[in-house]
Amino acid sequence: MSVLWPLRFEPVFRRYIWGGRRLQTVLGKSIGEGEDYAESWEVVDHGEDQSVVKAGEFEGATLRQIVEQHGAELLGRHYPQSQFPLLFKLLDCNRNLSVQVHPNDEQGQCLDPPDLGKTEAWVVLHAERGSALYAGLKRGFDREAFEREINRGTTELCLHKIEPRVGDCIFIPAGIVHALGEGLVVAEIQQASDTTFRIFDWNRVDSSGNPRPLHIEVALDVIDYGAGPVSVQVPEPTDRPHVERLVSCDKFTLDRLRVGGELMIGGDDRFHIVSVIGGSLMLDGDPTDRPVQRGETVLLPASCGECRLVSTGGSTLLDMYLPEGPYN
Ligand SMILES: [Zn+2]
């Protein structure tokens, strides 16, 4: 078994009606011309959408090829997997995103083609004054009541609204109605799925004058009506003083790390997705030999063992990995 080094990928940009320029202006990404850069997919293995390694021995390989040819080294204790199970992206919500909901794994299996369910979590990286997001239905909205408001054109009235601060984390399990709002830049970790049921798109049309399709019936079928409003996550301390846990669920764990000088990460026989959200750092074994800057992401394969991070001036990272349980 060979050792895989830390993997750096080319970002996969997505341009949507609600995107803007902040992937460059806030996160330093090199984007092209255009006012609609919505998402930077940092780590993805989903059908045709593939992260491609940008440096080192595996330069040019897709994440799927690495899962297939070096799965044991990449995935460690979670080997084997038919696809890389998590997707990590950065979003510029220059305008409101559609009000939407995602299926769970069981419901996703009934789709054509079948897809994973989608549980997701957001960390707010930037917020314009007054920007908001929507997370969960207000209390008292069952299927009938929610459907009535959708038909009246008053979907927004049913949604729990939050004005988040930078650093806030919001956890959105499958079945929770949600929408990110204009003026936010967020990091999102999710299951590697691309199935979205759109309920309301703010009465918008695209540049050709067409509205995007809605999927109201199927959305109403997958909503978890018992869940109610979603609050901002309360970070929990861990046994390591510089690490706080933002989300722990059966699909992923999301930790936030503050690095003052040196820090060891990994060494637990599982992969880690590490994204720098503040400052920059150097990582031993990084084939680019360049600092990992705010807005950049590294995938540490399980076979790397413990990796040393060195920060000058302090930095903040997100560390995302699979929990024990369904993936073992
Ligand atoms: Zn979503």
Q: What is the CATH number of the domain that holds 188?
A: 2.60.120.10
Residue 312 domain flag: yes
* CA 179 to centroid of ligand 1, rounded, Å: 7
* CA 172 to centroid of ligand 1, rounded, Å: 8
* CA 176 to centroid of ligand 1, rounded, Å: 9
How many domains are contained in the chain? Answer: 2
3-state SS of the chain is CCCCCCECEECEEEEEEEEECHHHHCCCCCCCCCCCEEEEEEECEECCEECEECCCCCCCCEHHHHHHHCHHHHHHHHCCCCCCCEEEEEEEECCCCCEEECCCHHHHHCCCCCCCCCCEEEEEEEECCCCCEEEEECCCCCHHHHHHHHHHCCHHHHEEEECCCCCCEEEECCCCCEECCCCEEEEEEEECCCCCEEEECCCCCCCCCCCCCCCHHHHHHHCCCCCCCCCCCCCEECCCCCEEEEEECCCCEEEEEEECCEEEEECCCCCEEEEEEECEEEECCCCCCCCEECCCEEEECHHHCEEEEEECCCEEEEEEECCCCCCC
Residue 113 domain flag: yes
Q: What is residue 1's predicted lDDT score, i.e. its pLDDT?
A: 53
pLDDT digits (tens, 9 = 90+) for 99-125: 999 999 999 999 988 999 999 999 999
* CA 178 to centroid of ligand 1, rounded, Å: 7
Question: Which amino acid belongs to residue 196?
Answer: T
Are 240 and 184 members of one domain?
no
Q: What is residue 328's predicted lDDT score, i.e. its pLDDT?
A: 64
* CA 196 to centroid of ligand 1, rounded, Å: 7
Which of 167, 189, 222 is at the close of a domain?
A: 222
Instruction: Give the residue carrying structure tokens 């314009």.
Output: 128
Are 218 and 240 members of one domain?
no
Are 213 and 68 members of one domain?
yes
Q: What is residue 206's predicted lDDT score, i.e. its pLDDT?
A: 86
* CA 102 to centroid of ligand 1, rounded, Å: 6
Are 194 and 245 members of one domain?
no
Which of 178, 196, 222 is at the close of a domain?
A: 222
Are 70 and 117 members of one domain?
yes
Residue 141 domain flag: yes
* CA 98 to centroid of ligand 1, rounded, Å: 9
List the chain pLDDT tens, one digit each, 328 residues.
Answer: 567 889 999 999 999 999 999 999 999 999 999 999 999 999 999 999 999 999 999 999 999 999 999 999 999 999 999 999 999 999 999 999 999 999 999 999 999 889 999 999 999 999 999 999 999 999 999 999 999 999 999 999 999 999 999 999 999 999 999 999 999 999 999 999 989 999 999 999 988 999 999 999 999 999 999 999 999 999 999 999 999 999 999 999 999 999 999 999 999 999 999 999 999 999 999 999 899 999 999 999 999 999 999 998 899 999 999 998 767 6
Are 209 and 248 members of one domain?
no
Which of 198, 222, 246 is at the close of a domain?
A: 222
Boundaries of domain holding 269 = 236-321
* CA 315 to centroid of ligand 1, rounded, Å: 28
* CA 175 to centroid of ligand 1, rounded, Å: 10
Q: What is residue 140's predicted lDDT score, i.e. its pLDDT?
A: 94
Are 243 and 119 members of one domain?
no
* CA 77 to centroid of ligand 1, rounded, Å: 29
Residue 58 domain flag: yes
* CA 271 to centroid of ligand 1, rounded, Å: 24
The residues near 148 (Cβ < 8 Å, ≥ 6 apart) are: none
Question: What's the pTM?
Answer: 0.96
Instruction: Give the residue carrying structure tokens 């902040």.
Output: 22
* CA 228 to centroid of ligand 1, rounded, Å: 17
* CA 14 to centroid of ligand 1, rounded, Å: 15
**CA-to-CA distance for 277 and 72, rounded, in angstroms?**
29
* CA 161 to centroid of ligand 1, rounded, Å: 15
* CA 43 to centroid of ligand 1, rounded, Å: 17
Are 112 and 46 members of one domain?
yes
Q: What is residue 263's predicted lDDT score, i.e. its pLDDT?
A: 93
**CA-to-CA distance for 61 and 78, rounded, in angstroms?**
21
Of 67, 206, 66, 188, the closest CA to residue 120 belongs to 188
Q: What percent of the chain is predicted at pLDDT more than 90?
A: 95
Are 164 and 242 members of one domain?
no
* CA 275 to centroid of ligand 1, rounded, Å: 20
Residue 3 domain flag: no
